[in-house]
């Protein structure tokens, strides 16, 4: 809080006036202390203001509101789906200003009393489809869908079937190529604390029985041949664990994702230093990486010195929450409205890749199958 006043009982004047002073962030409150907070214009409804709000608050300004609304790919009465850009944190801790939950809660209400809430997460560096619930009821349904049980515990057969069909599909560019072209990774994960005592890291569980671990399952499929030491991989997480795809790629497959320096630092160093000689599948001749004229390579692509993370949630299939809210809440004696019945049980979304991944894709996708 930028402006704060604190009552100082020891300095209270004889006439009863209370002197005010600005307190420091490291001051310890004493019994009887009081803090006064000013009423900010940022507490007014978003819909009533279009001017710029100071970025020192946790509330978005007009430009941020417009930017976030451009990310929306789908909206109905139950959910909002966005295409999250890389480097935008999803869940913020004070005083993070531009986290997705803080911005969306303030800017994406679209007439509702409250803004949408997160129901699942993407890493800060990961891009792609992000779903938010618009009402308390839809949020509860979405939490069950994104859990390991996938919401399949209802008496409604259509709902259970839709939940079974739900999936998330990621595309990733990895260093190297998995030995098998497709498969199922079932490798439990555990969290360890590093030597500094502050930073944690997710690793493959050793199975000793003495460490806390969580089951983690990922389906993968290689999309094409290795080019310039890298290959494109499709990933479908069956479970939802922190850094699951990144750890499974780096440690289970031995092919860390390009730009993932936390789990693939040493491989990145070798990859950058290794001369690459790959063979074109059609001619059998050494493949030369194309560098289109005028292409700006300093955008985090594979040609830049420090590539950004190449992990993108590209496709998602979800139950139609808005429809099933009507179905579940409908009395058995009341017929469903024709417009509700005609709506599909499933919704499918596809998000375009961010610019740095598009550049890498265009450079390396000539021989994808």
Superfamily of domain 158-183+217-270+298-368: Pseudouridine synthase (3.30.2350.10)
DSSP assignment of 238-294 equals SS--TTHHHHIIIIISS-PBTT-HHHHHHHHHHHHHSPP-EE-TTT-SEE-----TT
For 37-75, the pLDDT digits (tens) are: 654 433 433 333 333 333 444 566 788 788 889 999 999
The residues of the chain that CATH labels 3.30.2350.10 are 45-147, 158-183+217-270+298-368
More confident residue, 133 or 197: 133
pTM of the model: 0.77
- Asked if omega into 91 is within 30° of 0 (cis), the reply is no
8 A C-beta contact, residue 221 and residue 232: no
Q: In terms of CATH architecture, what is 45-147? A: 2-Layer Sandwich (3.30)
| Active-site residue, from 51, 123, 296, 342 | 123
Pick the range with the lowest mean pLDDT from 35-44, 343-352, 355-364: 35-44
For residue 168, list its beta bridge partners.
316
Strand blocks (E) in the chain:
5-6, 35-36, 72-75, 79-84, 117-118, 127-133, 167-175, 182-186, 189-193, 200-204, 217-222, 230-237, 278-279, 286-287, 311-319, 346-350
What's the CA gap between 364 and 225, in Å, rounded?
Answer: 10
The answer to whether residue 214 scores a pLDDT higher than 80 is yes
8 A C-beta contact, residue 327 and residue 159: yes
What's the CA gap between 26 and 34, in Å, rounded?
Answer: 16
Element containing residue 339 per DSSP (H, E) = helix 338-341
Q: How confident is the model at residue 183 (pLDDT cuts 50, 70, 90)?
A: very high
Q: Catalytic annotation on 76?
A: no
For 299-338, the pLDDT digits (tens) are: 788 878 889 999 999 999 999 999 999 888 775 545 656 6
For 82-109, the pLDDT digits (tens) are: 999 998 888 755 445 567 777 787 788 8
């Amino acid at each position: 809080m930028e402006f704060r006043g604190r009552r100082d009982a020891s300095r209270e004047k004889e006439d009863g006036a209370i002197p005010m002073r600005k307190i420091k962030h490291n001051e310890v409150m004493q019994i009887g202390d009081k803090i006064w907070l000013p009423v900010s214009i940022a507490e007014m409804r978003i819909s009533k203001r279009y001017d710029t709000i100071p970025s020192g608050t946790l509330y978005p300004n007009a430009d941020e509101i417009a930017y976030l609304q451009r990310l929306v790919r789908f909206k109905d009465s139950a959910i909002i789906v966005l295409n999250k850009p890389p480097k935008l944190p999803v869940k913020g801790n004070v005083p993070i200003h531009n986290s997705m939950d803080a911005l969306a809660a303030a800017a994406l209400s679209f007439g509702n009393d409250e803004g949408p809430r997160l129901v699942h997460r993407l890493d800060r560096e990961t891009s792609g489809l992000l779903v938010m619930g618009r009402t308390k009821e839809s949020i509860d349904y979405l939490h069950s869908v994104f859990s390991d049980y996938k919401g399949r515990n209802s008496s409604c057969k259509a709902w259970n079937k839709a939940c079974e069909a739900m999936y998330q599909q990621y595309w990733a560019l990895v260093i190297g190529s998995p030995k098998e072209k497709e498969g199922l990774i079932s490798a439990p994960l555990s969290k360890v604390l590093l030597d500094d005592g502050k930073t944690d890291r997710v690793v493959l569980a050793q199975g000793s029985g003495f460490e806390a671990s969580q089951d983690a399952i990922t389906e993968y499929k290689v999309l094409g041949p290795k080019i310039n030491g890298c290959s494109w991989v499709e990933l479908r997480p069956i479970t939802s664990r922190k850094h699951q795809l990144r750890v499974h790629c780096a440690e289970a497959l031995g092919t860390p994702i390009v730009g993932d320096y936390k789990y693939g630092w040493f491989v990145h160093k070798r990859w950058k230093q290794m001369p690459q000689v790959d063979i074109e599948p059609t001619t059998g001749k050494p493949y030369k990486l194309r560098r289109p004229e005028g292409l700006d390579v300093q955008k985090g692509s594979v040609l830049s010195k420090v590539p950004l993370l190449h992990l993108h949630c590209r496709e998602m299939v979800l139950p139609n929450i808005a429809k099933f809210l009507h179905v579940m809440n409908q009395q058995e004696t009341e017929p469903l409205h024709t417009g509700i019945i005609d709506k599909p049980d499933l919704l499918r979304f596809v998000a375009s890749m961010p610019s740095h991944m598009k550049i890498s894709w265009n450079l390396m996708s000539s021989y994808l199958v």
